[in-house]
A and B are shown apart, each in its own frame.
Chain A
Amino acid sequence: MATTVKPGIKPDQLQFKEGTLNANVPDGPIQQKWEKHLFDMKLVNPANKRKFTVIVVGSGLAGGSASATMGELGYNVECFCYQDSPRRAHSVAAQGGINAAKNYQNDGDSVFRLFYDTVKGGDYRSREANVYRLAQVSNNIIDQCAAQGVPFAREYGGMLDNRSFGGAQVSRTFYARGQTGQQLLLGAYQALSRQIAAGKVRMHTRYEMLDLVVINGRARGIITRDMVTGKIERHLADAVVLATGGYGNVFYLSTNAKGCNVTASWRAYKRGAFFANPCYTQIHPTCIPPSGEHQSKLTLMSESLRNDGRIWVPKKKDETRRARDIPESERNYYLEVKYPSFGNLVPRDVASRNAKTVVDEGYGVGEQKNGVYLDFSEAIGRLGKQVVKDRYGNLFDMYTSITGEDPYEVPMRIYPAVHYTMGGLWVDYNLQSTIPGLFVVGEANFSDHGANRLGASALMQGLADGYFVLPYTIGNYLAQAQLDKVDTTHAAFNEAEEEVNNKINRLLSINGKSTVDTLHRELGRVLWDYCGMARNEAGLKKALEMIPQIRQEFWENVNVPGSANDLNQALEKAGRVADFLELGELLCLDALNRSESCGGHFREESQTDEGEALRDDENFSYVAAWQYAGDEATPILNKEPLTFEYVKLTQRSYK
C-alpha cells in the first residue's frame, strides 16, 4: 500500500457494481426479525468462549459496552484507546439525552413510532430492519443503565423524567443534567472496569491502531503504536471490532474532540472494508462561531436555546452598530419571516442552511462577520431574567466563559458547525463489514441514521450495538468461522508492520516547511466551502482538484519534528491528517455522485421551489458503499438498494 500522493479520483471514470452486497437481513415480518435471528444464530459453548480473543478498538459507548459485555460472556477481550483512560472517549461530551420507546409519559410512544421517526428523520436513507432493531432494544438500554447506577433525572415521585427533542412528537428522551453522555459512558466504563479487574478485558490506553491485518480474507489482528514509547506492536485475535467514532474532524473545525480521527476506519477501508455514504455529515445550527485563525475546535450550545431565542441579522450589509443600537425595523428575523409556522424551531439542517445563506450574502455579525444573532431580550422581557437563567443559566455561563460576552445583555452569536457523521464503514445486519471477522459499531458504522440523525439517537445506537447486538452476532461468526491457526509471525503481520514503519519514517523524514495544522486547516476550508452545508457540481469538482494538491503539498513539504520512539504528538497528528487528506476526496466524490438532496446532504441542483431538500427516490434510494481499488484508481461504487415496506416515503415540509 503506497501512500497516496497523486490525484487518484476521476469522477468521469466511475464504476458501479450492484448485487455485490448482502445485508443478511433475516426473513419475516420486521417485528420478528431480530427475535428469530437470535434463535437462528449459532452459539459458542460457554467453555469454548475463553478460547476466543476479540480486539476492540475504541472505548466509547459502543466500544466500552461491547468490551464489557463480551468480557462478561467469557471471551478474552483486548481493548484499545488513544486517551489515557477509557472514560474519556468523546461520547463523554454528549449533552442532550438518549431516546427509548418506554412510553413512560403515556403519550402514545411505541417501538414502532421510534422506528418510524428515526427512518423519517434519516430522510429514508437507512435500512429499515436495522432501525427497527435499534428501537426494539432501546428500552433494554435504559433498564441496563439504571441498574448500573446511571443517575438519570427523576421526577419527585422517583420515576424517570423525560424531555422532548427535535423530530419527535412524544417525550421519550432520558437525560442526566447536561451531561448524559458522560453518565452513560461512566456506566459502560464501570462495567468495563469490573471486567478488567476480573481479568477478562486487557485495557491498552494511549495506544493507536495503525493498520488492520487480514489473513486469508479474514480480519485477524491489528498493528498498534504505543503512544508513550513509540513501540509498534502486533496483536492477533479471532475477530476485530472497530468502535472508533466518526470522521467530523476531516473538516478541521468541528465539535469533535481534537483526537477524533478516521485512521482505523480508513486502514480497514484500504484492506477491503467498504466505506458507505461518506457525504452524510450533520451540521449543528447552534455553535459558537470561530473567533479567529487560532480557533482549534468549535463548541456546541444546546439546541434548546432556540425555544426562547430569536434569530436575526441586520438588514444592512456591513452593519457596524452594536446589536442593541439597531432598531427593530432594521432587523431581519429571517426564519420567522420565511417559515411562519415553525419559525426559529425549524429542523437542524434548515436552520443551518439559512444561517449560511445570510452570512454568505454579507449580513454576518461579530468581528469576523461569521455569525447570526440569537437574541434573548424578548424572552427576558416576557419571562423575566430569572426564568431565563433557570432554563439556560449553565449555557449562558459557558458562552460567557468562551466569548467574554454576557448573553443577558447582548445577543449571542451562533453559527453552524460539523457535529456528527452518519456515514461510515458498511456493515450488514450483523454489524459485520465486507471483511469477514471485522465488525463495526457506533458512529463508525453507517447503518442506522440514514442521511440525518435525530437528536438523542447517537447514544442510543452506540449502546444498542455494544450491549445488545454485537455480543450475539459476533458469537454467530466465531462459532462458524473455522479460523486458521496462525501467529503474529505470519507474512501479513510482517507486511502490515513494515508499511506502518515506512509511513512513520517517511513522515519524519520530509522535514518541510508546513505544519500539519496548516495543511489540515486548508483541507477543512475546502471541504467546508464546497462540501459543507450546501453542495453543487461545480464546487465539488473544484474540491476534487484542490484536495490532491494539498495532499501533495503535505507529502512534499510537511514538517514533523521529533522521533518515532518517543511520545510524539506531532507525529500522531500527521498520521491522522494524512488519512483525512484521502478521506476528504472520497467524501466529495460521494457528494458529487449523489446528485439528489437528502437529510444533511443538500445539493443545490435538487431543491423544491421553496428551497427545501428534494430527494430523488427513483435514482438514489440506495446505500453508496465505496470499495478501495488502489491508491491511484477511482474507487468502485457498490450499491445496496433500500426498500421501504413499513414506512411510507414522504417529502418533508416545515412551512
Chain B
Amino acid sequence: MNLTLKIWRQKNGNDSGQFVTYPISDVSADSSFLEMLDLLNEGLMDKGEEPVAFDHDCREGICGMCSMMINGVAHGQDREPVKQITACQLHMRHFKDGETITIEPWRATAFPVLRDLIVDRTPFDHIIQAGGFISVGTGSPPDANSLPISKPVADYSMDAAACIGCGACVAACPNASAMLFTSAKVAHLNSLPQGQPERYQRVVNMVSVMDHEMFGSCTNIGECAAVCPKEISLDFIADMNRDLMMATFKGITPTVSLNGKK
C-alpha cells in the first residue's frame, strides 16, 4: 500500500518542532505500524537523512515503551473485533491504501519531548517512588500462604496491576491528568492485605507528587480508559478518591520531599 505520513519532527527539547510530510510506498498490509516506520527510516537513511526517533522495545504490547498519537488517538485506533492495543500491536491492514496518517508524540506538560516522537516519562517513576511500593526489605518474609487473599480481591488487584505505564492515559486526557496511572498503582497495593499498613500515607504521598509533577486534574472525561491498552478501569480513580478523602479525614499529610523535583 502507499501512504502519506505527517510526522512531528523535533531535534531536541529546545527546538520548536514541526510536521514533515513523507510519502511512503510498498508498505505490506501484514507489517506492524512500527515496522512501517522502520521502512520509512531505512528509506530516509538511504537518502542520507536522519531517521525518525521513536520509543519502542518489546514490540509485543507489554513493556509500555512505544508511545505515539496516530491520527489523534493515543496508540492509534484498532478496528473491530480487536480491542484497544499498543502502537506496536497495531497492523497496517487497518489502514486504507492512499490514506494520510498523522503521527505525533504524547502531548503533556509533564512529558517534554526529547526528540521527534520520544518524550520523557520519568514523572511516572517519581510518582511510584513517592509510595508505590510496600515497605518490605529482602529477607525472610512469612510463608506466602500464611496470608490468604480471596480470589476476587487478588483478581481486582491484578486488574489494576496490569497497567504498563505507557502514558497513553495522560496523552489522551484533555487535562493531561495522570489519575488513571496513579490510581491503578494505588488500587493494586491498597486492595491487598499487605498494602494496608501504608494505605493512606501511600495515596497522599503519590497524589502530592502527581500534582507537583505538573499533571492536570481529573474531570471525569474518561478518554484515558478509552485508549488504555490494558483496559484499566475508571473505577480505580473512584477508589483512589475515596482513600484520599479518608486520609484527609484522618488528617494525614504528605511526608514525601518535593525538593529536587520539578
Residues of A within 8 A of B (CB): 65, 68-69, 72, 83-88, 90, 92-93, 102, 104, 140, 142-149, 151-160, 176-177, 179, 181-183, 186, 189-191, 193-194, 196-197, 203, 205, 228, 255, 257-259, 291-292, 294-297, 299-300, 397-398, 400-404, 467-468, 471, 513, 515, 517-518, 559, 561-562, 566-567, 569-570
Contacts and interface: CB of A to CB of B under 8 A. Distances in A.
Interface string B185-218: 0001100101100000000000000000000000
B55 A257 contact: no
B246 interface: no
B64 interface: yes
Contact of B130 (A87, A102, A197, A471): A197
A289 B81 CA distance: 22
A485 B100 CA distance: 61
Contacts of B221: none
Interface in B28-59: 28-32, 34-36, 38-39, 42, 45-46, 48-51, 53, 55-59
B144 A142 contact: yes
A638 to B, nearest CB: 34
A191 B134 CA distance: 8
B158 A566 contact: no
A468 B161 contact: no
B128 interface: yes
Nearest to A573: B51
Interface centre among B38, B91, B122, B158 (most CB of A within 10 A): B158
Contacts of A182: 62, 162, 164
B114 A228 contact: yes
Contacts of A90: 57-58, 63
A148 B133 contact: yes
A559 B83 CA distance: 39
Given A143-B143, A159-B145, A148 B136 contact: yes
Interface centre among B29, B61, B114, B145 (most CB of A within 10 A): B145
Interface stretch (B1-9, B148-156, B168-176, B237-245): B148-156
A286 to B, nearest CB: 14
B219 interface: no
5 contacts: A83-B65, A158-B149, A190-B133, A191-B137, A567-B115
Contact of B138 (A69, A156, A190): A69
A262 B136 CA distance: 33
A102 B144 CA distance: 10
B76 interface: no
B93 A160 contact: no
Given A158-B148, A194-B133, A292-B30, A567 B154 contact: no
Contacts of B81: 400
B105 interface: no
Contacts of A197: 129-130, 256
A85 B125 contact: yes
Contacts of A158: 148-151, 154
B165 A87 contact: yes
A566 to B, nearest CB: 7
A179 B159 CA distance: 11
Given A296-B34, A397-B82, A147 B134 contact: yes
A559 B151 CA distance: 55
A628 to B, nearest CB: 29
Interface of B: 11-12, 28-32, 34-36, 38-39, 42, 45-46, 48-51, 53, 55-65, 78, 81-83, 85, 89, 91, 93, 114-115, 118, 120-122, 124-125, 128-130, 132-145, 147-151, 154-155, 157-158, 161-162, 164-165, 188-189, 192, 194-195, 256
Given A69-B138, A149-B189, A403-B30, A177 B53 contact: no
A191 B151 contact: no
Contacts of A397: 82-83
B57 A258 contact: yes
Given A84-B121, A160-B144, A559 B45 contact: yes
Nearest to A260: B57
Contacts of B42: 515, 517-518
Given A147-B136, A191-B138, A258-B59, A404 B144 contact: no
A197 B118 CA distance: 25
Nearest to A154: B154
B171 to A, nearest CB: 15
Nearest to A513: B46
B53 A569 contact: yes
Contacts of B150: 154, 156, 158
Contacts of A194: 129, 133, 135
Contact of A144 (B34, B133, B141, B145): B141
Nearest to A91: B63
Contacts of B34: 296
Nearest to A402: B91
Contacts of B256: 197
Contacts of A562: 50
Given A88-B58, A190-B134, A561-B51, 13 more contacts: A93-B60, A140-B140, A146-B141, A147-B141, A147-B194, A149-B189, A183-B158, A257-B58, A297-B59, A398-B61, A400-B82, A567-B12, A570-B50
Nearest to B38: A296
Contacts of A567: 12, 53, 114-115, 118
Contacts of A143: 140-144
A131 B221 CA distance: 53
Contact of A561 (B48, B63, B133): B48
A404 B91 CA distance: 9
B67 to A, nearest CB: 9
A104 B144 CA distance: 10
Contacts of A181: 62
A149 B82 contact: no
A88 B128 contact: no
A144 B138 contact: yes
Contacts of B164: 92, 182
B218 to A, nearest CB: 23
A561 B47 CA distance: 10
Contacts of A404: 29-30, 91, 93
Interface centre among A146, A196, A228, A292 (most CB of B within 10 A): A146
B207 to A, nearest CB: 16
A398 B49 CA distance: 35
A401 B63 contact: no
Interface centre among B35, B133, B150, B256 (most CB of A within 10 A): B133
A181 B161 CA distance: 12
B122 A84 contact: yes
Contacts of A88: 57-58, 63-65, 165
A156 B151 CA distance: 5
B62 A515 contact: no
Contact of A157 (B36, B140, B148): B148
Given A83-B57, A197-B129, A146 B144 contact: yes
B115 to A, nearest CB: 4
Contacts of B32: 296, 402
Ranked nearest first, the 7 interchain pairs of A and B with the lowest CB-CB distance are A158-B148, A190-B133, A147-B141, A146-B144, A291-B30, A151-B158, A154-B154
A193 B151 contact: no
Nearest to A155: B151
A88 B136 CA distance: 22
A92 B58 contact: yes
A105 to B, nearest CB: 12
Nearest to B150: A158
Contact of A570 (B11, B51, B56, B85): B51
